[in-house]
Amino acid sequence: MKTATFLNRDEFLNHWQGHRNLTRRTIEKFPEEEFFSFSIGGMRTFGELVKELLTISVPGLEGIVNKDDKPFSHDIELADKAAALKMWDEQTEQINELYNKISDEELYETFNLFGQYKDQTNNNLMYFHDNEIHHRAQGFVYLRALGIEPPFFWER
């Protein structure tokens, strides 16, 4: 009988990057004219959600690697969808570089992420991943409301 295994560090990064690829494809499908204007039920626009994702993962990883707990800020300049995609691609590479600077031991150390989320580093990394899935799902709802088929989630 096989027992369940969890992802090792390389498998986790590969899994996370697969989700980033799916989120990128979701951004690509979003109409430019709706990116920073369309919302449902008072939720933030998909452009604002993407800004949050861009201001959490890489800045959070930089904080973990540099042991810097400075607060986060979602205040970045994104003029349009093309700028979001450019920053997304740049950060995809940065995630690989920063993640690989975290040792196995450091994954289980407690870190006060952004000076307010005190948890083990591996749990902070899961938060980055889970937060992205949550906001991408909102983007899927928006796309469907706009009559656009979202990318297939199993094609990461």
Residue by residue, pLDDT tens for the chain (156 residues) are 666 566 788 999 999 999 999 999 999 999 999 999 999 999 999 999 999 999 999 999 999 999 999 998 888 999 899 999 999 999 999 999 999 999 999 999 999 999 999 999 999 999 999 999 999 999 999 999 999 999 987 776
* CA gyration radius, the chain: 16
pTM for the whole structure: 0.91
Cβ atoms 101, 65 nearer than 8 A: yes
Integer Cα distance of 82 and 60 in angstroms: 23
pLDDT of residue 3: 62
- Nearest Cα to 63, choosing from 119, 147, 18? 119
Integer Cα distance of 100 and 97 in angstroms: 5
Cβ atoms 74, 55 nearer than 8 A: yes
Lookup: tokens for 129? 């991943």
